[in-house]
C-alpha cells in the first residue's frame, strides 16, 4: 500500500489532505506511461497541441476560484495573491500558443560549401520526450505551469513534482488536463525529496525551481545521467535608490517588493541601498507604509495584505536572520518578532545593517526589509554585487539613462528600473539567475520553448548519382580535383583560388 503524508494549513496547522508519498517505482511507472503517450503528442504537431492548451486555458479560467481556494489553504496567502497565479498561467498559454509555431518553425539553411551545394539541409526542433518539473512551495501553480506549458507546447510529456508543503493545487490543476480529455502527457507525482530525486532519474530534461542547496544536488545527479537541466534558484535581490529617485514610488515599491507573498519570492527585495541625501525620507516613508499593512489569515474577502509564512522551517530562518541583525547592532523600526497564531512573522524594517550580518548575505525569504545608507552610486553597486547570488535587482532614479548605466554594472540576470517584478510579466524576456541563483533561464520568448527541444539536422541528397567524388575508390586524380575545387571556393584571393600561391 502506498504511504501517505498529511498536508497542513500553514496559517493554523489544520490538516487539509492526505497525499501519496510516491516512491521510485511509482515515478518510473508514471514516466513509462507518459513516454508512451508522448509519441502521439509530438506527432499531432504544434496546431494540435495548441488546441489542447487553449481548452486547458478555458478550464483554468472556469475553475479559477476553486484553484485559488486550494492554493490559499496550503500557502496561507492573502486572497489577492492567491488569485494571481491562474491569470499568470493563462497569459503564458496565450503567449506560447500565439508564438510557438514561429518559435518552433523548421529551418532550411542555404548550403555553405561546394560539398553540400547539391544537398538540402533542414533543422527541426524535436522535444525531449519527457520533461521533469520540480517546484517549491511559494508559487505552486505558476511555477509548475509556466514551465509545463512551453514544454507541452514543444511536444514533450511533462511530469511535475510539487513541493511536499503545497502539492494540492498542482494536483488539482493537472487533474484538469485529464478532465478536458487531453492526451495523457501531463502527470503529477507527489512526495518529499526522494520523489524528486526519482523524477531526476527518469526524465530527459530537468526543470528545477527551488533552493540553491537542492539545485546543486539535482545538477550533479543530472550531469551523472547526462541529461540537461535548468535551475532557477535562490536570490538576495538588491534595490538601489539613487539620490534623484522618486522617493514615494520607491518606498511603496520597496514595501510591496519585500512583503508581497510574505517575502517568499525568489525576486523579493532582500536588501536596500539608499544614497545618503534621500535616506531619511525613504526610511520614514517605508516605515509609515509598513505600519498600515494588515496581517492575518485571509479568506476570500481581501481582509489582509500579508499572510503567513509557508512553514515553521521558513519562520525559523527569518527569526535567525533578524536575531543575528539585532545582536550585531541593527534596529528593527517595525516588527522584529513572530506574530500570534500560525507561522506568521511581523513585517520588519531593519536599519543600521551591514554586510557582516546574515540578513545582508543569506536569502531570508521572509517579510523583512534591511535598509543601508550609502555614500554614492559606486558604493551601492559594489555592495549590490557583493553577493553569491545574482537573480535580479532594481534601480530607482528619475534619470532613466543614469539608472540604465547603473543596471549595466550589476551582476544580476534581470534588472527592473523604477519598477518591481515587471520583468516576470514580460514573457518575451528571459529570467536567468546568475552566480548561485541558477543555471539556464526560463521564459524568454523563443528560447523559453526551444530549451525543451533538441535540434535534429536532416541533410538529403537532391541529386543522387551512383557515387560521389569523396567516396571510394580513392585516387590521386580525384583527390587533386577535389582539392582544386575546394580551394577555388574557399580561398579569399584569386592567386590562392587558382593554386598559384
Ligand atoms: P527546496 O529546494 O527545499 O525544494 C524544492 C523542491 O525540490 C521540492 O519539491 C522538494 O521536494 C524537492 N527536492 C528536495 N530534495 C530533492 C532532491 N534531492 N532531489 C530532487 N528534488 C528534491 O526549495 P523550497 O524551500 O521548496 O523553495 C524555496 C526556494 O526556492 C528559495 O530558495 C527560492 O529562492 C527558490 N525559488 C526560486 C525561484 C526562481 O525562479 N529562481 C522561484 C521560486 C522560488
C-alpha to C-alpha distance for 190 and 170, rounded to whole angstroms: 10
- Give Cα 460 to chain centroid, integer Å: 39
CB atoms near residue 297 (< 10 Å) = 18
Residues 105 and 143 in one domain: yes
- Whether residue 232 lies in the annotated active site: yes
Q: What is the CATH number of the domain that holds 73?
A: 3.40.605.10
| Overall average pLDDT of the 78-91 stretch | 97
Residues 347 and 492 in one domain: no
Residues 286 and 173 in one domain: no
C-alpha to C-alpha distance for 481 and 471, rounded to whole angstroms: 13
Residues 205 and 290 in one domain: no
Tell me, what's the pLDDT at 342?
85
Residues 55 and 126 in one domain: yes
Residues 294 and 342 in one domain: yes
**Average confidence score pLDDT of the chain:** 97
* 482 belongs to a structural domain: yes
Q: Tell me which H or E stretch contains 193.
A: helix 193-202
Cβ 104 vs Cβ 47: under 8 Å = no
Q: How far is the CA of 439 from the centre of ligand 1 (A)?
A: 14
How many distinct structural domains can be found in the chain?
3
Tell me, what's the pLDDT at 444?
85
* 440 belongs to a structural domain: no
| Overall average pLDDT of the 470-495 stretch | 94
Q: How far is the CA of 417 from the centre of ligand 1 (A)?
A: 28
Residues 205 and 350 in one domain: no
* 22 belongs to a structural domain: yes
| Confidence at 443, pLDDT banded by 50, 70, 90 | confident
Q: Is the beta carbon of 202 within 6 A of some atom in ligand 1?
A: no
Q: Determine the structural domain holding residue 175 and report its residue range.
A: 4-233+446-454
Q: Is the beta carbon of 218 within 6 A of some atom in ligand 1?
A: yes
Q: Is the beta carbon of 201 within 6 A of some atom in ligand 1?
A: no
Q: Is the pLDDT of residue 480 over 80?
A: yes
Residues 158 and 181 in one domain: yes
Tell me, what's the pLDDT at 226?
98
C-alpha to C-alpha distance for 273 and 270, rounded to whole angstroms: 10
Q: Is the beta carbon of 233 within 6 A of some atom in ligand 1?
A: yes
Can you tell me which residue has the cell 513516454?
A: 35
Three-state SS at 419: coil
Residues 85 and 119 in one domain: yes
Q: Is the pLDDT of residue 318 over 80?
A: yes
Tell me, what's the pLDDT at 264?
97
| Confidence at 341, pLDDT banded by 50, 70, 90 | confident
* 429 belongs to a structural domain: no
Three-state SS at 443: strand
* 488 belongs to a structural domain: yes
| Overall average pLDDT of the 469-488 stretch | 94
Q: Is the pLDDT of residue 1 over 80?
A: no
| Overall average pLDDT of the 148-168 stretch | 98
Atom 21, ligand 1: residue with shortest CA distance: 196
Q: Is the beta carbon of 134 within 6 A of some atom in ligand 1?
A: yes
Q: How far is the CA of 265 from the centre of ligand 1 (A)?
A: 12
| Overall average pLDDT of the 335-352 stretch | 94
Bridge partners, residue 126, by sequence: 454
C-alpha to C-alpha distance for 230 and 204, rounded to whole angstroms: 12
pLDDT above 90: percentage of residues in the chain: 96
Residue of 266, 270, 359, 362 marked catalytic: 266
* 293 belongs to a structural domain: yes
Residues 187 and 89 in one domain: yes
Tell me, what's the pLDDT at 240?
98
* 306 belongs to a structural domain: yes
Q: What is the DSSP letter of 262?
A: G
Cβ 16 vs Cβ 74: under 8 Å = yes
Judged by average pLDDT, the poorest of 122-131, 265-274, 320-329, 441-450 is 441-450
Atom 3, ligand 1: residue with shortest CA distance: 211
* 435 belongs to a structural domain: no
Q: How far is the CA of 370 from the centre of ligand 1 (A)?
A: 24
Residues 229 and 261 in one domain: no
C-alpha to C-alpha distance for 453 and 327, rounded to whole angstroms: 51
Tell me, what's the pLDDT at 166?
97
Q: Is the pLDDT of residue 112 over 80?
A: yes
Which candidate, 156, 208, 255, 211, places its Cα nearest to that of 454? Answer: 156
Tell me, what's the pLDDT at 501?
86
Cβ 164 vs Cβ 190: under 8 Å = yes
| Confidence at 49, pLDDT banded by 50, 70, 90 | very high
Q: How far apart are the first and last CA of the chain?
A: 80
Q: Is the beta carbon of 234 within 6 A of some atom in ligand 1?
A: yes
- Whether residue 18 lies in the annotated active site: no
- Residue 136 φ/ψ, nearest 5 degrees: -90, -170
Cβ 264 vs Cβ 257: under 8 Å = no
Grid coordinates of 95: 503567449
| Overall average pLDDT of the 349-376 stretch | 98
Residues 388 and 482 in one domain: no
Residue of 74, 85, 164, 232 marked catalytic: 232
Q: How far is the CA of 212 from the centre of ligand 1 (A)?
A: 8
Can you tell me which residue has the cell 504544434?
A: 46
Q: Is the pLDDT of residue 69 over 80?
A: yes
Q: Is the beta carbon of 192 within 6 A of some atom in ligand 1?
A: yes
pLDDT in tens, 368-384: 999 999 999 999 999 99
C-alpha to C-alpha distance for 32 and 83, rounded to whole angstroms: 34
Atom 12, ligand 1: residue with shortest CA distance: 193
Bridge partners, residue 63, by sequence: none
| Confidence at 74, pLDDT banded by 50, 70, 90 | very high
Query: What ligand 1 atom has the least distance to the C-alpha of 210?
Result: 30
Query: What ligand 1 atom has the least distance to the C-alpha of 232?
Result: 41
| Confidence at 6, pLDDT banded by 50, 70, 90 | very high
Q: Is the beta carbon of 147 within 6 A of some atom in ligand 1?
A: no
Amino acid at each position: 500500500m502506498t504511504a501517505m503524508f498529511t498536508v497542513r494549513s500553514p496559517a493554523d496547522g489544520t490538516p487539509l489532505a492526505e497525499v501519496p508519498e510516491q516512491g521510485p517505482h511509482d515515478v518510473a511507472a508514471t514516466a513509462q506511461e507518459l513516454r508512451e503517450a508522448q509519441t502521439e503528442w509530438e506527432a499531432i504537431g504544434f496546431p494540435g497541441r495548441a488546441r489542447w492548451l487553449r481548452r486547458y486555458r478555458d478550464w483554468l479560467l472556469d475553475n479559477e476560484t476553486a484553484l485559488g481556494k486550494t492554493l490559499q489553504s496550503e500557502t496561507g496567502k492573502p486572497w489577492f495573491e492567491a488569485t494571481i497565479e491562474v491569470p499568470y498561467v493563462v497569459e503564458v498559454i496565450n503567449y506560447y500558443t500565439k508564438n510557438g509555431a514561429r518559435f518552433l518553425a523548421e529551418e532550411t539553411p542555404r548550403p555553405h560549401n561546394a560539398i553540400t551545394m547539391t544537398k538540402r539541409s533542414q533543422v527541426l526542433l524535436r522535444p525531449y520526450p519527457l520533461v521533469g518539473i520540480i517546484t517549491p512551495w511559494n508559487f505552486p501553480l505558476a511555477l509548475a505551469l509556466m514551465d509545463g506549458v512551453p514544454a507541452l507546447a514543444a511536444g514533450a510529456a511533462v511530469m511535475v513534482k510539487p513541493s511536499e508543503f503545497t502539492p494540492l493545487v498542482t494536483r488539482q490543476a493537472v487533474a484538469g488536463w485529464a478532465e478536458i480529455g487531453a492526451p495523457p502527457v501531463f502527470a503529477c507525482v507527489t512526495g518529499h525529496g526522494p520523489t524528486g530525486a526519482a523524477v531526476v532519474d527518469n526524465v530527459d530534461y530537468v526543470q528545477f525551481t527551488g533552493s540553491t542547496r537542492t539545485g546543486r544536488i539535482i545538477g550533479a545527479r543530472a550531469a551523472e545521467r547526462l541529461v540537461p537541466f535548468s535551475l532557477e534558484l535562490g536570490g538576495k535581490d538588491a534595490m538601489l535608490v539613487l539620490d534623484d529617485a522618486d522617493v514615494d514610488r520607491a518606498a511603496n515599491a520597496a514595501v510591496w517588493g519585500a512583503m508581497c507573498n510574505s517575502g517568499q519570492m525568489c525576486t523579493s527585495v532582500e536588501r536596500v541601498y539608499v544614497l545618503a541625501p534621500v535616506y531619511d525620507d525613504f526610511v520614514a516613508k517605508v516605515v509609515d507604509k509598513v505600519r498600515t499593512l494588515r496581517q492575518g489569515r485571509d479568506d476570500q474577502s481581501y481582509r489582509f495584505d500579508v499572510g503567513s509564512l509557508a512553514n515553521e522551517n521558513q519562520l525559523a530562518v527569518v527569526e535567525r536572520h533578524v536575531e543575528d541583525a539585532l545582536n550585531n547592532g541593527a534596529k528593527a523600526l517595525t516588527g522584529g518578532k513572530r506574530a500570534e497564531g500560525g507561522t506568521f512573522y511581523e513585517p520588519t524594517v531593519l536599519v543600521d545593517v551591514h554586510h557582516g550580518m546574515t540578513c545582508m548575505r543569506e536569502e531570508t525569504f521572509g517579510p523583512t526589509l534591511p535598509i543601508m545608507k550609502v555614500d554614492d552610486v559606486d558604493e551601492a553597486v559594489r555592495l549590490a554585487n557583493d553577493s553569491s547570488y545574482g537573480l535580479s535587482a532594481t534601480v530607482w532614479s528619475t534619470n532613466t539613462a543614469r539608472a540604465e548605466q547603473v543596471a549595466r554594472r550589476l551582476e544580476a540576470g534581470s534588472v527592473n528600473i523604477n519598477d518591481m517584478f515587471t520583468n516576470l510579466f514580460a514573457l518575451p524576456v528571459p529570467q536567468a539567475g546568475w552566480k548561485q541563483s541558477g543555471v539556464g533561464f526560463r521564459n524568454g520568448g523563443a528560447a523559453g520553448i526551444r530549451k525543451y527541444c533538441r535540434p535534429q539536422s536532416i541533410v538529403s541528397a537532391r541529386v543522387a548519382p551512383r557515387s560521389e567524388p569523396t567516396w571510394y575508390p580513392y585516387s590521386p586524380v580525384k583527390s587533386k580535383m577535389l582539392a582544386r575545387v575546394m580551394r577555388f571556393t574557399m580561398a579569399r584571393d584569386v592567386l590562392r583560388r587558382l593554386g598559384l600561391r
